[in-house]
Amino acid sequence: MDVNTGDLGFPIWLRLNHFVNLFCIFFLMRSGLQILADHPKLYWNDHCRPGSEWVKFGKKKMPANRLFTSMDEAEDVSPVFAIPGGHHNLGAGRNWHLLIVTLWVLNGLSYVGLLFASGQWRRLIPTSWSIVPEAWHSALTFASLHTPPPSSFHPYDPLQQLVYCAVVFILGPFMIMTGLAQSPALIARYPWYLRLFGGRQGARSLHFIGLMLMVGYVLTHLVMVIMVHFPRDVDRMFTMFSPPGSSPAVASVVAAAALIFVIVCHVAATLYTRRRQRGFQSGATTIVEPIVRLLFGRLWSYQDYDSSAVTAEHHVNGYPPENADYRRVAANGFRDWRLRVTGLAERPLELSLDDLKRMPKHAHTAMHNCIQGWTGIARWGGVRVQDLLHICRPTPQAKWIVFHAFVQEEYAPEHYYEAFRLEEMSDPQTILAYEMNDQPLPFRHGAPCRLRLETKVGYKMVKYVQRIELVASLDQVGFGHGGYREDHQFYDKVASI
């Protein structure tokens, strides 16, 4: 055991970091479960072929003889376990996750920074290999339902020190790294990053396994705090503004109050999110969206997977339109379909599918990242949106570009639409795709053409495109929040993670 830790004590910043971590960790777990429930299957392959999952939660059985979408596979989840709970409350779950993870990472960085700045790192990082046999001895002691004597704690027992060190310096960063791998923007710009985890689904599975380890750690930690030399550790961590040991009774009261505070926060946050979904969306995205734009907003896609990587059975969301308008143009191979570019353009356009095909064609093989968690790889061919914009010439007032789809029955009488900042169209791999895997775009994937913007999650990539509109403000688009999903399901509008 390394005994050169001296009397490091438990400084106030360490106790505050510990409390903020306690506050964050349960929010992260509950919001993570909400996200998982929307596609409660985990894979080790990026094709997500039905049946290839290594673990599946929920009881839903999907029909084998008809088209179903991944939205149909989403499971309800209890608000006791998830925030906000319920059916397909993915937008709020994501906003909670991104909001709290920001606080958690800042708290973690300040904790690690202060550990090294103050010399407190010696309480966590072993400086002698002798800790390994000592930790093993300690593990055997605990396994025999005995407790090492207080003299073994300097301030931690060797096993405790190793576990804390692993959680702070391995599990925490591991969760951040696998979490970052969920960003389509990051993995589109740096496809090699995914190889560290065996692919996007590998990263997602490892993130889940990390969550299980974190849950196991938290439960064990709580049990050990109570079982081993109670209330010593409570006293150390919750004697907030006095030296530890000066007022054990007060420390116990503060610890109980802290736990009650966290529970009350969870109950209040869950109720508020369910009852004031728009208010929560507005508040959370005000904080989250600038951070996501800062981290991922300027990343362009550099993907070009090998053709052997193409997914055979690509998942889909959104059913093809069934109405007369769509059927009429579909019936003759979309010869009468016209793409209209309207709004704040010097030269409004009306283009046929042949007109689009006469423009320079660009193709790339890229990974589709659904917001629910599944992925697929396909080759997409079409015309760059940037080329269309060069022809129609947006006026200086145009700030947003909106893609409007045909009416689909699941959204009727409205239609699906999504808006983007005009500069987001600069990515060379942002195309209006009319081909998938070198064939005309299939109905279920958005025929006659769909948007491909490889740095965003799938809900931003409008299918069955009928019209493109240039506008000055989001107030002119639907309910003004950035798109159909933002308006109706409280998603964020940046969608880069």
Q: How far is the CB of 443 from other proteins (least distance, A)?
A: 13
Q: Which residues pair with 41 in a beta bridge?
A: 56
Give, as ranges, the residues between 80 and 109 that touch other proteins (CB under 8 A): 87
The reply on whether position 487 binds other proteins by CB under 8 A is yes
Please state the closest distance from residue 363 (CB atom) to other proteins, in A.
31
Q: Which of 11, 12, 72, 81 binds other proteins (CB under 8 A)?
A: 72
Please give the Cα distance from 202 to 47 (Å, whole number): 11
What span, in angstroms and rounded, lies between the C-alpha atoms of 381 and 477? 28
- Measured from the CB atom, the residue of 71 and 310 that comes closer to other proteins is 71
Q: Which is nearer to other proteins, 454 or 487 (CB)?
A: 487
Which residue bears the tokens 């009350």? 264
Q: Give the range of 34-42, 296-304, 410-418, 461-469 binding other proteins by CB under 8 A.
A: 410-418
Instruction: Report the distance separating Cα 178 and Cα 350, nearest Å.
Output: 44
63 touches other proteins by CB under 8 A: yes
Select from 20-28, 65-73, 123-131, 219-227 the region that touches other proteins (CB under 8 A): 65-73
Q: Between residues 89 and 375, which has the closer beta carbon with respect to other proteins?
A: 89
Contacts of 319 (CB under 8 A, 6+ apart): 67, 69, 408, 409, 410, 444
Binding residue count for other proteins, defined by CB under 8 A: 19
Q: Which of residues 133-162 bind other proteins (CB under 8 A)?
A: none
| Near other proteins by CB under 8 A: residue from 278, 335, 358, 390 | 278
360: contact with other proteins by CB under 8 A: no
Considering beta carbons, is residue 2 or 75 the nearer one to other proteins? 75
Distance CA(111)–CA(22), nearest Å, equals 13
Please report whether residue 243 would count as binding other proteins according to CB under 8 A.
Answer: no
3-state DSSP call for residue 175? helix
Question: Which of the 8 DSSP states describes residue 458?
Answer: G
- Choose among 160, 156, 126, 161: nearest CA to 142: 160
Does residue number 67 form part of the binding site for other proteins (CB under 8 A)?
yes
Of 63-71, 177-185, 229-237, 251-259: span binding other proteins (CB under 8 A): 63-71
- DSSP 3-state of 30: helix
Beta bridge partners of residue 341, listed in sequence order:
349, 468
Binding-residue pattern over the window 433 to 472 for other proteins, x denoting contact by CB under 8 A: ----------------------------------------
Return the range that interacts with other proteins (CB under 8 A); candidates 67-75, 205-213, 232-240, 345-353. 67-75
Nearest approach, Cβ of residue 329 and other proteins (Å): 15
Rounded CA-CA distance 377/365 in Å is 7
Binder of other proteins out of 309, 319, 349, 361 (CB under 8 A): 319
- From CA 36, how far away is CA 15, in angstroms rounded? 32
Quick check: 247 binds other proteins (CB under 8 A)?
no
Place of tokens 């009928």: 466
**Token duo for residue 328:** 């009429």
Q: What kind and span of H or E run contains 32?
A: helix 12-38
Q: Is 62 in the site for other proteins (CB under 8 A)?
A: yes
Comparison of 41 and 204: residue with beta carbon closer to other proteins: 41
Select 59 or 146, whichever has its Cβ closest to other proteins: 59
Which DSSP string do the residues of 103-172 spell out, in sequence order? HHHHHHHHHHHHHHHHTGGGGTS--STTHHHHHHHHHHHHHTT----GGG-SSS-HHHHHHHHHIIIIIH
Give the residue, chosen from 170, 223, 253, 412, that forms a contact with other proteins under the rule CB under 8 A. 412
Instruction: Verify binding: residue 277, other proteins, rule CB under 8 A.
Output: yes
Choice from 313, 325, 355, 409 touching other proteins (CB under 8 A): 409
Considering only residues 163 to 202 of the shown chain, the ones binding other proteins according to CB under 8 A are none
Contacts 24+ apart (CB under 8 A), 390-393: 391/347, 391/349, 392/341, 392/345, 392/346, 392/347, 392/348, 392/349, 392/470, 393/345, 393/346, 393/347
Which of 340, 488 has the CB closer to other proteins? 488
Handedness of CA 352, 353, 355, 361 (dihedral sign): positive
335-356 CB burial, b ≥16 within 10 A, e <16 = eebebebbbbbeeebebebeeb
Q: How far is the CB of 283 from other proteins (least distance, A)?
A: 16
Indicate whether 68 belongs to the interface with other proteins (CB under 8 A): yes
Q: Which of 21, 69, 342, 476 binds other proteins (CB under 8 A)?
A: 69
- Characterize 187-210 residue by residue with b for buried, 16 or more Cβ atoms within 10 angstroms of its Cβ, and e for exposed: bbbebebbeebebbbbbbbbbbeb
C-beta of 63 vs 360, nearer to other proteins: 63
Find the shortest distance in angstroms from Cβ 478 to other proteins.
9
325 contributes a contact to other proteins by CB under 8 A: no
Work out how close the CB of 276 gets to other proteins at its nearest, in angstroms, rounded to a whole number: 10
Report which DSSP code applies to 242: S
Q: What is the C-alpha separation between 451 and 383, in angstroms, rounded? A: 10
> In this chain, which of 313, 336, 410, 423 binds other proteins, going by CB under 8 A?
410
Q: How far is the CB of 214 from other proteins (least distance, A)?
A: 32
List interacting residues with other proteins (CB under 8 A). 62-63, 67-69, 72, 87, 277-278, 319, 322, 409-413, 479, 487-488
